[in-house]
Amino acid sequence: MLVFPQLVTGASSIYPLKKQHTARTVTNTLGDGQKVIYEDSSAAIVQWELQLKSLTRAEADAIETLFTAVSGQWGLFTFLDPGGNLLAFSEEFGNTVWTNGPLIQLTTGIDDPNGGTGAARAINDGEAPQTVAQVLDVPGDFKYTISVWARTQGGSNATLTALTTGASANLPIQLDGTWKRFSFTIDLAQPTDSATFGVALDAGASVDLFGMQVDAQIGPSDYKRTGAGGGVYSRARFSSDSLAIKAQGTDIYDAVVRILATEN
C-alpha cells in the first residue's frame, strides 16, 4: 500500500494545517429562462497544506520515498486526513459500511449526548460477544485512537477493539447510565493494508452508542460527524512535481507538502 507516512511520534501532521474543499456548481438554463442549479460532486476536490517542521531524517526520507514511488503528482496514494474522522457514517451504525455481528439488534432515534436523537441502542441477542465494527483500508502499522460515546441502562459493559491480520488490541470499558466518551490508542504494528475498529458487546448486553471516531494519531481529537465520506482518501496525489525539504540542522528538516484528492 502506498500511503503518506505517519510521523514517528504517531502524529498525522504538524500544525498549522490547512485544509480546503473546492466544489463546482453547474447551471443549466432552460428554454423558458428558468435555471436548474446543482452541485457537480464529481468535480469536488480536497486540498491540504502540511507545514512539517523539525522532521527527523527518517521522516523526511519516508516522504521523499513516497514522492519518488508515485513520480511526483502523477501517481496515487492513500492519505489519512489529519483533521478528519476515518470512519464513514459515524452515527449510522446500521449502514452497510458497518460489519456488525449478525446478532446485533439496533434501535435508532435514542437521545444522544448533544441533546439530539442521533444515538443508537445496540443489543447483543447472542450467547457470545458481538461487535459493532467497521473495516478501513488503512495501514496496520500506524498508530490510531478509537473513541465513542457510550452508556448502559442495565449494567452492561463493552470493549473497544481493533484488529488486523496477526494482531488485535482490546480495552474493556465500564459503563453506567451517563454518557461518557471513551478512547483507546492502538498500535497493531503489522504491515497489513486494512484494520477493523469497533465496540464489542458481551452476550445479552444493551449499550447506547454515539459518534464513533478513529483518528490517525495517538490521542482523540474533537468529534467529527461523517457521512459517506470518511477521512481515508485512497486517490490522493501530490499537487506538484517538486518537493523541497530543507535541512535546518543535524537531523532537523522542514518541508511544506501540498496534497489533493477527489472527494471520497
Pairing type for strands 232-238 and 77-80 reads: antiparallel
**Residue given cell 456488525 in the structure block:** 100
* Averaged confidence pLDDT in the chain: 93
Q: Which residues contact 252 (CB under 8 A, 6 or more apart)?
A: 54, 55, 56
Q: Residue 187 in contact with residue 219, Cβ under 8 Å?
A: no
- Which residue has 453547474 as its cell numbers? 26
List phi, psi (to 5°) of 230.
-85, -165
Q: Please tell me whether residue 5 adopts helix, strand or coil conformation.
A: coil
Cβ neighbors of 1 (< 8 A, separation 6 or more) are: 78, 137, 139, 193
Domain ranges of the chain: 17-83+232-262, 104-215
CB 86 within 8 A of CB 215: yes
Q: What is the pLDDT of residues 98-115, one digit of tens each?
A: 999 999 999 999 999 999
Is a pLDDT exceeding 70 seen at residue 264? no
How does pLDDT run across 26-72, given as a tens digit for each residue?
888 877 878 888 777 667 889 999 999 999 999 999 999 999 999 99
The C-alpha atoms of residue 250 and residue 187 are separated, in whole angstroms, by 29
For residues 9 and 7, give the distance between their C-alpha atoms in angstroms, rounded to a whole number: 5
Class of 104-215 in CATH: mainly beta
